[in-house]
Amino acid sequence: MSDIAAIVVAAGRGERAGAGVPKQYRTLGDAPVLAHTLGAFAAHPAVGRVLAVIGEADAIQYKMCLSCLPDTRRLLAPVSGGNTRQASVHAGLAALADTPPAIVLVHDGARPFLSPALITEAIAAARAHGAAIPGLPVTDTVKIVDEAGRVTGTPERAGLRAVQTPQAFAFAPLHAAHERARAEGRNSFTDDAAIMEWAGHPVHVFPGEATNMKLTRPEDFDTAERHLRRDATLVSRTGTGFDVHAFADGDHVWLGGVKIPHARGVIAHSDGDVVLHALTDAVLGALADGDIGSHFPPSDPQWKGASSDRFLAHAVALLHARGGVLDHLDATVICEAPKVGPHREAIRARIAVIVGLPLASVSIKATTSERLGFTGRGEGIAAQAAATVRLPANRHPTDAPGV
């Protein structure tokens, strides 16, 4: 089982959004808000368990959400929340404490647009820093105002971040901090990072996503519907990639981010992972944005021996930065040996985690070249790949006529 669990808090009443029904159960597109949110975690390859914290009276609405999800296998039975967000998160942590995960993600049920890449980033940042939260630079000037409406201060804007969820933590210290806050009657923390700060833990901030809005006020639902409609107007593009490395002395090769024992190694500036290189070129091809060599020149010493995960992650980050969505990856390894079959599922799982796709959208195939050519003679290994993405029409400079 994965050592990562997600707690989705959805026990609020949505007073500020109005409409007489908790906002997480209002319909957005073709499903309740909460179904979108839970679906994002349930489909993420790295998340093993998803726990919803719901209102005591909301069991029927919650069941409706489940009926909108294609796969509910990783969803645990929901638990009841408390009177505050803090109390609801505490209820979720308490429910996980008997079989604690290493990392827990805490997310608002009312933030339905988080991307798979943000979940991947949150997990990586929590592994690296213990406590990590997504945040965006503030674009308005922020004032501190007293009860009479008088400005009492203007904080330096450069150091401010508007923070979001998923907030990601090593489970044990977050659980302990929540327990301590509860025992000491500290009940007014508005996010989990604040509890960790209060308990003396450093918290790292990584870039959030402008689209990861929290539905809070009535007008937010119009923005959310517009966001969904924009998604429907994305145009599909396909890119292809191809890569070759010659065999040399060594005892392993890297394929799709997995180290595979083999009687030979490869000659390469990086780790020589033909699968990740071909996939990186395929994503860059779909973006019409050069190739792996133009983004990571082999002449640059910093890429010497580099793990190729970062090349593919970079290409996918470029796609997201342009408002695009990665839909599917497909690669074929061409070699006489090593045999890819025994490693296929591990490779698919690793790639799924690197790019934040569900496993069902990552395909790995292999073929020999019938002993013909350089692969047939065992002189080297090759891979070809295709990436299917969706992009906003006319967003990239190279879409403009004449460019």
Ligand X SMILES: Nc1ccn([C@@H]2O[C@H](COP(=O)(O)OP(=O)(O)OP(=O)(O)O)[C@@H](O)[C@H]2O)c(=O)n1
Q: Binding residues for ligand X, per CB under 6 A? A: 9-17, 24, 53, 81-85, 88, 108-110, 214, 216
The answer to whether 327 touches 292, Cβ cutoff 8 Å, is no
Q: Closest CB to ligand X among 74 and 85?
A: 85
Binding residues for a divalent metal cation: 243, 245, 277
Residue 303's identity, in one-letter code, is W
For residue 242, the SS3 value is: strand
With residue 317 as reference, give the H or E element that holds it. helix 309-321
Q: Closest CB to ligand X among 110 and 268?
A: 110
104 binds, among ligand LQXTBERG, ligand X, none (CB under 5 to 8 A by kind): none
**CA contacts within 13 A on the Cβ side of 341:** 4
Binding residues: 243-245, 269-270, 277, 291-293, 367-370, 374, 377
88 binds, among ligand X, ligand LQXTBERG, none (CB under 5 to 8 A by kind): ligand X
Burial class of residue 204 in the structure, from the number of CB atoms within 10 Å of its CB (0-12 exposed, 13-18 middle, 19+ buried): middle
Q: Closest CB to ligand LQXTBERG among 32 and 208?
A: 208
Query: Least distance (Å) from ligand LQXTBERG to the CB of residue 72?
Result: 25
| CB-nearest residue to ligand LQXTBERG | 191
190 binds, among ligand X, ligand LQXTBERG, none (CB under 5 to 8 A by kind): ligand LQXTBERG
332 binds, among ligand LQXTBERG, ligand X, none (CB under 5 to 8 A by kind): none
61 binds, among ligand LQXTBERG, ligand X, none (CB under 5 to 8 A by kind): none
- DSSP symbols for 153-218: E---GGG-EEE-S-EEEEHHHHHHHHHHHHHTT----SSHHHHHHHTT---EEEE--TT-----SH
Q: Closest CB to ligand X among 16 and 180?
A: 16
Query: Least distance (Å) from ligand X to the CB of residue 53?
Result: 5
Query: Least distance (Å) from ligand X to the CB of residue 235?
Result: 33
- The span from the CA of 380 to the CA of 397, in Å, is 38
382 contact partners, CB below 8 Å, separation of at least 6: 242, 243, 244, 245, 274, 333, 334, 335, 375
98 contact partners, CB below 8 Å, separation of at least 6: none
Q: Closest CB to ligand X among 214 and 320?
A: 214
